[in-house]
Amino acid sequence: DPMISLVGVGKRYPDGTVAVADLSFDVPAGELLCLVGPSGCGKTTTMKMINRLVEPTSGRILVDGEDVAHTDPTRLRRRIGYVIQQIGLFPHLTVRANVATVPRLLGWDRARIRARVAEMLELVGLDPAAMGGRYPHELSGGQQQRVGVARALAADPPVLLMDEPFSAIDPVARDRLQGEFRRLQREIRKTVVFVTHDLDEAIRLGDRIAVFRQGGRLEQIDPPARVLGR
């Protein structure tokens, strides 16, 4: 069974904007699917619907076989890690406390959280001793986004949603993060939906690429070679 399944999903915002129209696709477990397309074609809305931050106006979304409309938020946080362009670290919390957010929400004990936080920081290439006690404003953009990835992975969710995670980062750091993320993904094999407006990034990272067009419709969903071959 697919890990993520969208069936006839549509979203019309209260002002009448149709952000997504009749969208259906599956993401098998362990796949990294990139969503590409012009600004305003419904990519972020799609991500927010998978994460239950936005309610679809039609259709159904299943994550690990369960309708997200009927999954309580804590359960969803355990299943889905979310990384966004604006990073969204809590500015008043240390790096450690940021990474510990979901495990704390889940009531893990202190020792388990401590070990997990250190493990996650190492996983994303940050030295826990040097970086763990810093506040977000004491880090570079690239380091902050690494913390964002560590936080999203902390409770070991099967699904990662990444919405333009590297696009606010300078080109050199972005290139490194892309390479490292690709290696990391080979190791951890999450089911990833990755939004980017950068086709090169999608080709580099994606097992498949979903090409959106204006009005929130799916034009094509294929491996990178097929998308390039058109």
56 binds ligand ADP (CB under 6 A): no
CB of 22 to ligand ADP, least distance (A): 15
Kind and range of the H or E element at 13? none
CB of 136 to ligand ADP, least distance (A): 12
C-beta neighbour count of 16 within 10 angstroms: 6
13 binds ligand ADP (CB under 6 A): yes
Q: By the 8 A CB rule, do 185 and 154 touch? A: no
**Per-residue burial over 123-135, b = 16 or more CB atoms within 10 Å of its CB, e = otherwise:** bbbbebeebbeee
Residue 64 or 81 having the CB closest to ligand ADP: 81
Which residue type occupies 31?
A: E
Site string for ligand ADP, 105-124 (x = CB under 6 A): -----x--xx--xx------
Residue 41 or 64 having the CB closest to ligand ADP: 41
Residue 205 or 210 having the CB closest to ligand ADP: 210
Q: Restricting to residues 66-95, name those near ligand ADP by CB under 6 A.
A: 94
Q: What value, to the nearest 5°, has the Cα angle with vertex 134 and ends 133 and 139?
A: 150
Applying CB under 6 A, among 3, 6, 19, 139 the residue interacting with ligand ADP is 19
Applying CB under 6 A, among 36, 97, 205, 227 the residue interacting with ligand ADP is 97
42 binds ligand ADP (CB under 6 A): yes
**Per-residue burial over 187-224, b = 16 or more CB atoms within 10 Å of its CB, e = otherwise:** eeebbbbbbbebbebbbbbbebbbbbeeebbbeebeeb
Site string for ligand ADP, 126-155 (x = CB under 6 A): --x---x-----------------------
Q: In terms of Cα–Cα distance, which of 188, 184, 203 is closest to 146?
A: 184
Applying CB under 6 A, among 39, 70, 72, 86 the residue interacting with ligand ADP is 39
φ, ψ of residue 110 in degrees (nearest 5):
-55, -40
Applying CB under 6 A, the residues found at the interface with ligand ADP are: 13, 15, 17, 19, 39-45, 94, 96-97, 100, 110, 113-114, 117-118, 128, 132
